[in-house]
């Protein structure tokens, strides 16, 4: 037989051999690309609207919740997911009620 290798050496050897495939798989599984792939595959309007709103629309500092006018707005609420940039700024508790 040959020299017996431990798990560490085997794992390192496998990683070096398959580095590009592993990195691509990890990006798709855990990274920003995962959300984009989900949007492309499923055409999920809710995910697309959430992604675009988070990327394009910042919540203004000091903005009060449009539903209760008591608490500072921390979230964006979509009335219609087909219009991803049409959002209302609401607090978390009001957003849970509006869902």
Domain ranges of the chain: 50-98
Alpha-carbon distance of 61 to 79, in angstroms, equals 22
- 3-state class of 13 per DSSP? helix
pLDDT digits (tens, 9 = 90+) for 26-83: 777 776 666 666 666 656 788 888 888 988 999 999 999 999 999 999 999 999 888 8
This prediction's pTM = 0.57
User: Exposed/middle/buried for 37, CB within 10 Å: 0-12, 13-18, 19+?
Assistant: middle
Alpha-carbon distance of 88 to 52, in angstroms, equals 14
What sign has the CA pseudo-torsion 90, 92, 96, 99?
positive
DSSP alpha helix (H) spans, the chain = 7-17, 19-30, 32-42, 45-56, 92-98
* Per-residue pLDDT at 76: 94
Alpha-carbon distance of 66 to 76, in angstroms, equals 11
Place of tokens 């959300």: 35
């Amino acid at each position: 037989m040959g020299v017996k290798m431990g798990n560490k050496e085997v794992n390192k050897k496998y990683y070096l051999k398959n580095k590009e495939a592993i990195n691509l798989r990890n990006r798709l599984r855990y990274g920003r690309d995962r959300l984009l792939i989900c949007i492309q595959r499923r055409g999920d309007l809710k995910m697309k609207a959430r992604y675009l709103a988070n990327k394009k629309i910042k919540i203004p500092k000091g903005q009060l919740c449009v539903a209760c006018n008591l608490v500072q707005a921390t979230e964006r609420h979509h009335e219609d997911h087909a219009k991803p940039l049409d959002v209302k700024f609401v607090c978390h508790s009001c957003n849970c009620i509006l869902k």
